[in-house]
Amino acid sequence: MANAEWIEKSKASFMNTYGRYPAVMVEGRGCLLKDADGREYLDCLAGIAVCSLGHCHPAITEAICRQASTLVHVSNLYHTIPQTELAELLINHSFADRVFLANSGAEANEAAIKLARKASPDGKYEIISLAGSFHGRTLATVAATGQSKFQQGFAPMPQGFRHAPFDDIAALEAMIAPETCAILCEPLQGEGGVLPLAPEYLAAIRQLCDRHGLLLIFDEIQVGMGRTGTLFAYEQCGVTPDILTLAKALGNGLPIGAMLARESVAKAFEPGSHASTFGGNPVACAAAVTVLRLMLAEGFLAEVRAKGNYLAERLTGLADKYPAIASPARGLGLIQGLPLTETWLDKGPDIVNRLFAKGVLLNFAGGKALRCLPPLIISRAEINQLIQALDEVFAELSQ
């Protein structure tokens, strides 16, 4: 069947929670997707920072098939080898001493919230996050999210969450109360419009946590796993958290999340404190082990940084060419945003739709910036293809 037929069947079956584009994706290879009509797309969104090693990477596909033919699920009542291999890799290449495995970013953040409360002195439960942040779609993570649009229609929100103004350390400190147990932030706000937090700001947050006896939680669900050019974004900040959350690219498309912590914090969890039926599924873990080994291969992350610089330069070149439309690029590595000027913000969705019509996929984040999240294996020629399409769209809109 063609796109139109599948779309009609889909609309008849699903709850109306997604604003989907008129394409039914049936195949993916590298940075390319193909729909049911046979049309190809350059994927510069990577499933929203998920398929960071491209679609159907041969080594990951082989690992999935091998594990699926051996053991798919036994629950966390028993140990499995892929789980242990993954945990060791994460610990050996991070600050952490312990890992909890979940199925998604929201679940990883839920685990971090519960751990922060349990590891803090009695009476401390409140978590401060930042305006513009995004931490998930469950009730607790929506409450932690610093964007009211995600909370509309779901009141009352769970208690224990406050939102500090972005990039205002004095306002953040003023919000710390006797019941505060942690500060939660993204090193770079992806859904908020591709806004990096300055290293000095992150360092000041770390100092606040140390001074007030609070835990620091970094949400690296979108920016972890090589996206910024280091395995974890915190490595570029000079600031180390107490708890770190991961998901998205960890499984390169298979659902998996992880919450990492120092031993002094992690010890608060005991048998029965927290759990997940599917967390650490052997097939998802086998995929994640392969993802990590590929990303840790010599030269891989350096090349991500180099291509990130190239993408930023090309995007900024467009901003220089069309100053009425866009401002210089901002981001880290291969998460780059092209902010639209104030008078062009309402054109963001139209720009994305025009790119889709040209066979290029990206999105508009936070109502502020065109967000580029290509697979980390994207070539410079494919980056040039993206820039050419954007140039054509800007030229059309300028007429």
Q: pLDDT (tens digit, 9 = 90+) per residue, 114-133?
A: 999 999 998 899 999 999 99
Fold classification of 60-295 is Aspartate Aminotransferase; domain 2 (3.40.640)
Ramachandran bin of 164, using left for φ above 0, alpha for ψ from -120 to 50, beta for the remaining angles = beta
Residues of the chain with CATH 3.90.1150.10: 3-57+298-398
What is the SS3 assignment for 104?
A: coil
Q: Report how far residue 331's alpha carbon sits from residue 311's, in angstroms, rounded to the nearest whole number.
A: 10
User: What confidence score (pLDDT) does residue 240 get?
Assistant: 98
Long-range contacts of 302-310 (CB under 8 A, 24+ apart): 302/229, 304/226, 304/227, 304/229, 304/333, 304/334, 304/376, 305/229, 305/230, 305/333, 307/334, 307/376, 307/378, 307/380, 307/383, 308/228, 308/229, 308/332, 308/333, 308/334, 308/335, 308/336, 310/380, 310/383
pLDDT at 338 over 90: yes
What digits encode the pLDDT tens for the residues 246-284?
Answer: 999 999 999 999 999 999 999 999 999 999 999 999 999
| Topology at the third CATH level for domain 3-57+298-398 | Aspartate Aminotransferase, domain 1 (3.90.1150)
Band of pLDDT at residue 399, cut at 50, 70 and 90: confident
Residue 1 pLDDT greater than 90, yes or no: no
Task: Give the model's pLDDT for residue 147.
Answer: 95
pLDDT tens digits along 293-307:
999 999 999 999 999
> Is the distance from CB of 23 to CB of 229 less than 8 angstroms?
no
Do 219 and 183 meet the contact criterion of CB atoms below 8 Å apart? no
Domain with CATH 3.40.640.10 in the chain: 60-295
pLDDT for the residue 82 = 98
- pLDDT at position 194 over 90: yes
pLDDT at 122: 86
Please state, for a pLDDT cut of 90, what percent of the chain lies above it: 98
CA distances, 78 to each of 73, 268, 280, 284, 364 (Å): 10, 21, 11, 16, 43
